[in-house]
Amino acid sequence: MTTATEPLKAKDYKSEIPPTWCPGCGDYGVLNAVLKAFADLQLDINKTALVSGIGCSSRFPYFVKTYGMHTAHGRSLPVGAGLKMARPDLEVVVFSGDGDGFSIGGGHVPHVARKNTDITYVVMDNSIYGLTKGQVSPTSKQGMVTVTTPYGAPDNPVNPVAFCLTYGATFVAQSYSSKSKLTQELVTKAIQHKGFAFVNIISPCPTFNKVDTFDSYKELVYDIPADHDTSDLNAALQLAFEGKNSGRVPTGVLYQTQKPTLVDKLNEIRKKANGSDNFDMNKIIEAYKP
């Protein structure tokens, strides 16, 4: 938390670099919501790090006045996980898109999730490769015509929410970029959560995706019922699959549970190792120092 006398406002987290997204991009709404979430939590600018991969959404760290790392395509999660391991005192938030996160970077998600690494993962899902001018992405609808699929996409799309639920994420939520207040609340909750927190945000691309538009989502986005049990994994999976199969978009917290984080578990191992009569972790560490 910050030690500033005056509470920080959302604008105080904004960098001098103006966003460079296309006019009407949903990512503007995500950025504004995230800045407000940071202000809600009064995050210390010097103790917060944003990590991203490659893509429109991955420009995010440039626009925020915290530490930022713009990494290689699909490698934001392992970099973020490594940063958290090295500096558990930092608040680490990773930003990605559907292509960066679930295509080239898809192999990293299961392992960061199952280890319950204490980071927040925000994916801006526009179902298209926007930065490289409109290729089909892992979340594009089957049959979608793009520059790389002129006869329609042949593949079944990835279900990001079900994907993360299946692999053990301990906080899973979904929002829509036009629902700024909800996005702000979900990002706030995700950062407060101890463990791997995933927030999928539907963020339409007005330039290259003419199928999944703001108009098309008007009748598809809905609030998760108030009586939904967020501790019930089966109920969360049912919501995720029903939404994907029907084309509808449930928004809110689907699932949340508490389990030891990766750092917690490693600290326990360290304690056991240091308490052994014939094993001294500090000696091993000293032996590898230059």
Whether residue 45 is contained in a domain is answered as yes
Instruction: Please report which confidence band the pLDDT of residue 234 belongs to, taking 50, 70 and 90 as the band edges.
Output: very high
Q: Looking at the structure, do residues 270 and 249 belong to the same domain, yes or no?
A: no
Mean pLDDT of 10-31: 96
Whether residue 1 is contained in a domain is answered as no
CATH number for the domain harbouring residue 149: 3.40.50.970
Whether residue 2 is contained in a domain is answered as no
Q: Looking at the structure, do residues 31 and 126 belong to the same domain, yes or no?
A: yes
Q: Looking at the structure, do residues 172 and 280 belong to the same domain, yes or no?
A: no
Q: Looking at the structure, do residues 254 and 201 belong to the same domain, yes or no?
A: yes
Mean pLDDT of 3-20: 90
Q: Looking at the structure, do residues 217 and 287 belong to the same domain, yes or no?
A: no
Look at the chain and report how many structural domains it folds into: 2
Q: Looking at the structure, do residues 101 and 121 belong to the same domain, yes or no?
A: yes
Whether residue 164 is contained in a domain is answered as yes
Which residue segment(s) compose the domain that 283 sits in?
A: 260-290
Q: Looking at the structure, do residues 25 and 62 belong to the same domain, yes or no?
A: yes
Amino acid (1-letter code) at residue 183: T
pLDDT for the residue 272? 80
Whether residue 5 is contained in a domain is answered as no
Whether residue 3 is contained in a domain is answered as no
Instruction: Please report which confidence band the pLDDT of residue 245 belongs to, taking 50, 70 and 90 as the band edges.
Output: confident
Q: Looking at the structure, do residues 127 and 151 belong to the same domain, yes or no?
A: yes
pLDDT for the residue 236? 98
Mean pLDDT of 105-128: 97
pLDDT for the residue 3? 52
Q: Looking at the structure, do residues 120 and 156 belong to the same domain, yes or no?
A: yes
Q: Looking at the structure, do residues 215 and 285 belong to the same domain, yes or no?
A: no
- Given a cut of 90, whether residue 4 has pLDDT beyond it is no
Q: Looking at the structure, do residues 71 and 210 belong to the same domain, yes or no?
A: yes
Q: Looking at the structure, do residues 37 and 51 belong to the same domain, yes or no?
A: yes
